[in-house]
Chains A and B, each alone.
Chain A
Amino acid sequence: GAGVSQSPSNKVTEKGKDVELRCDPISGHTALYWYRQRLGQGLEFLIYFQGNSAPDKSGLPSDRFSAERTGESVSTLTIQRTQQEDSAVYLCASSHALRTQYFGPGTRLLVL
């Protein structure tokens, strides 16, 4: 596709449920990033994938968060046993390593 796409665009879930967020990066981009942005706040780095290297998971806030990426394609971010504090916009970005990051539209997650 022409840009980074994310799905779903909005997700409302109940506390304690698991959610899975999807990111389709720009074709050919080797790097993929996940960020969390709470309302009115900055970007909080979560995880970074670069090619077949081990991902940088240093930003994941707890073991309830995990992410996978197969090769240089789709990535999924999974949040288990969601909490109200997980409510935020989850942004995905892709790039050629350490170059311009192209952001997707984000998934707005609301945990009730």
Chain B
Amino acid sequence: GQQVMQIPQYQHVQEGEDFTTYCNSSTTLSNIQWYKQRPGGHPVFLIQLVKSGEVKKQKRLTFQFGEAKKNSSLHITATQTTDVGTYFCAAGTPYGQNFVFGPGTRLSVLP
């Protein structure tokens, strides 16, 4: 079955440092979504990427979809304490009817 990996599992950064999480799939994807879950909260949609090589930006967040549509990354510039949480990628396959979530990357930001 499809496997979705995320690295790193945990990341501790000092406020102001950059952060990147990577999502890798064993199969070619139709699209990929990113979600953020604050401690004690539920996942909240951030963005969806569909096209090969697509890059989207949301303020300090930059999302990329790989050329082969098997991997994606989320980069946060100059982290803030409000960025704390777990970031999940959710992979959509060309033939599947649902999304497979990665295990998430838990980000801690030290003030």
Contacts and interface: CB of A to CB of B under 8 A. Distances in A.
B101 A98 contact: no
Contacts of A101: 33, 35, 43, 45, 90, 99
Interface string B10-32: 00000000000000000000110
A8 B105 CA distance: 28
Contacts of A53: 97
B88 A43 contact: yes
Given A43-B101, A50-B97, A100 B43 contact: no
B100 to A, nearest CB: 7
Contacts of B31: 98
Contacts, number: 48
Interface string A2-41: 0000000000000000000000000000000101000001
A53 B45 CA distance: 25
Contacts of A99: 48
B43 A91 contact: yes
A48 B104 contact: no
Contact of B98 (A33, A42, A100): A33
A65 interface: no
B107 to A, nearest CB: 14
A102 B97 CA distance: 16
A105 B45 CA distance: 14
B45 A106 contact: no
29 contacts: A33-B98, A42-B88, A42-B101, A42-B102, A42-B103, A43-B88, A43-B101, A43-B104, A45-B98, A45-B99, A45-B100, A48-B98, A53-B97, A56-B98, A91-B43, A97-B97, A98-B30, A98-B31, A98-B92, A98-B97, A98-B99, A100-B45, A100-B48, A101-B43, A101-B45, A101-B90, A101-B99, A103-B42, A105-B42
